[in-house]
Amino acid sequence: MVFKSLPGMGSEEIIYPNKLRTIRAKCDMSMTAVAKELGISLSAMSKVENGYRRITEKLLVDLCKLYNCDADDMFIQKGDKEAVEWTKEMKKRTQNNQDLGLQTFGQGLRFIRQSKNITIQDFSKKAKFTISVYHRVETGKRAVFYDEVCRISKTLDFKTPEEFLVEIKNLNKNNKLDKNKQISDERFKAIITPRCIDDIHGGNSVYGAYLSEKTKQNLIPIYGKADNEGVIKIVANRKSMIVSPFWNKNKENLYAVEFNSRTTKRFCPDKSFAIIDNNAELSEGDLALLMPIGAKKVPATKSVEVELVNIDSIKDEVFLASPHNRRSQRIHIKKDDLYRLHKIIVIVLP
């Protein structure tokens, strides 16, 4: 099973104050360099650092990998100076957006879009917005220009922009937007209210706790990588993680290894990741990592060299395997030694 890339995460994105700017400065990296490395705009990176733009689990993990830090290092605790200033600024921005009518506009737009059963993805494409920009419009966090109102009203089949605006005015007057307002208020309160998750933050209330919790639930530890000669060495640690490309409640059996083209004889490009299940049943044709004799689990302190092998055949409870780069060589693995085989269940391409 091969995934071309890591998919987007399903949980809600969250805005929260963070220590990204401080961490970036310690790494001696410019904001421009970070934005380029992550594939996002400089404007988006600036808003992420200031806590004014929504951040996804994948972006959080990418930042951790780039800065070589733990996700918890980015979260700010309740009462920190940065958190107090950020909370005041968020409340000020929200009040300004309400005074300008942006929230009513966004809530009305959402009500009409949903009544026509149009998804955000489809609507933003038809109205020529990026999903990120359109989301900010619908949540009342961005001013809208006249030409954009024209595109929106046309996409919703209104004859004129003015007709569309009158419809929003009537919806608000008739209290049709009350439910959306309530949902918006609850989300805002959740954003500016820090909370504590046991066993994650050591009893301290932090901003972005939900995102931290969900991120940790979707991470798989990277136990090693292939060197320039394609040799794989692994050791059990959780310093580096990747986002799981699938949901699995038994993640304690899973770990990842970074491959390169030498490892797989150019079957996979550099920076590919193999997701391994050390408890999965093997079949003919599977790929697996062959552990050293006596190593039932990946050791926690000292790295061991493992071999990428193909399972060629299974007969009379004896597995016949061959090293992936030396197919002419044969390895016989008896039933009592099957613990040495850790099945590769997914390969994630860069």
How much is the average pLDDT of 326-341? 85
Q: How confident is the model at residue 263 (pLDDT cuts 50, 70, 90)?
A: confident
Fold entry, domain 94-191: 434 Repressor (Amino-terminal Domain) (1.10.260)
Lowest mean pLDDT among 206-215, 276-285, 335-344: 206-215
The pLDDT tens digits for 202-261 are 455 666 656 666 666 677 888 888 888 778 888 887 667 777 776 655 567 888 898 888
Q: With contact defined as beta carbons under 8 Å apart, do 254 and 326 qualify?
A: no
Q: With contact defined as beta carbons under 8 Å apart, do 226 and 260 qualify?
A: yes
pLDDT at 54 over 60: yes
How much is the average pLDDT of 18-40? 90
Which pLDDT belongs to residue 122? 93
| DSSP-derived 3-state class of residue 108 | helix
Which pLDDT belongs to residue 35? 92
Distance CA 242, CA 111 (A): 37
Q: Is 161 exposed, middle or buried (0-12, 13-18, 19+ CB in 10 A)?
A: middle
Which pLDDT belongs to residue 146? 93
Give the orientation angle of helix 161-173 with respect to helix 146-155, to 10 degrees: 80
Distance CA 20, CA 23 (A): 5
What are the structure tokens assigned to 78, written together? 């309740």
Radius of gyration of the chain (CA): 25
Q: How confident is the model at residue 159 (pLDDT cuts 50, 70, 90)?
A: very high
The pLDDT tens digits for 64-116 are 888 877 777 787 777 777 778 888 888 888 888 888 889 899 999 999 999 99
Q: What is the pTM of this model?
A: 0.50
User: Residues with Cβ < 8 Å from 152, sequence gap 6 or more?
Assistant: 109, 127, 144, 161, 164
Distance CA 304, CA 234 (A): 6
Answer with the residue of higher pLDDT: 192 or 243. Answer: 243
Answer with the residue of higher pLDDT: 283 or 326. Answer: 283
Q: With contact defined as beta carbons under 8 Å apart, do 215 and 61 qualify?
A: yes
pLDDT at 13 over 70: no
Which pLDDT belongs to residue 113? 95
What are the structure tokens assigned to 325, written together? 């780069």
What are the structure tokens assigned to 236, written together? 């059990």
Q: Measuring CA to CA, how many Å separate 84 from each of 14, 24, 77, 93, 173?
A: 18, 21, 10, 14, 36
What are the structure tokens assigned to 75, written together? 């979260």
Kindly list the domain boundaries of the chain, sorted by start residue: 2-78+194-216, 94-191, 219-348
Q: State the virtual CA torsion across 186, 189, 190, 194 in degrees, nearest 10.
A: -160
CA 232 and chain centroid, separation: 26
Distance CA 105, CA 100 (A): 9
Nearest Cα residue to 194 out of 9, 17, 64, 11: 17
Q: How confident is the model at residue 6 (pLDDT cuts 50, 70, 90)?
A: very low
Which pLDDT belongs to residue 135? 84
Q: Do domains 2-78+194-216 and 94-191 have the same CATH topology?
A: yes
Q: Look up the CATH superfamily of 219-348.
A: Umud Fragment, subunit A (2.10.109.10)
Which pLDDT belongs to residue 106? 92
Answer with the residue of higher pLDDT: 140 or 242. Answer: 140
Pure H helices in the chain? 20-26, 31-38, 42-50, 57-67, 81-99, 102-115, 120-126, 131-138, 146-155, 161-173, 178-192, 209-217
For domain 2-78+194-216, which architecture applies?
Answer: Orthogonal Bundle (1.10)
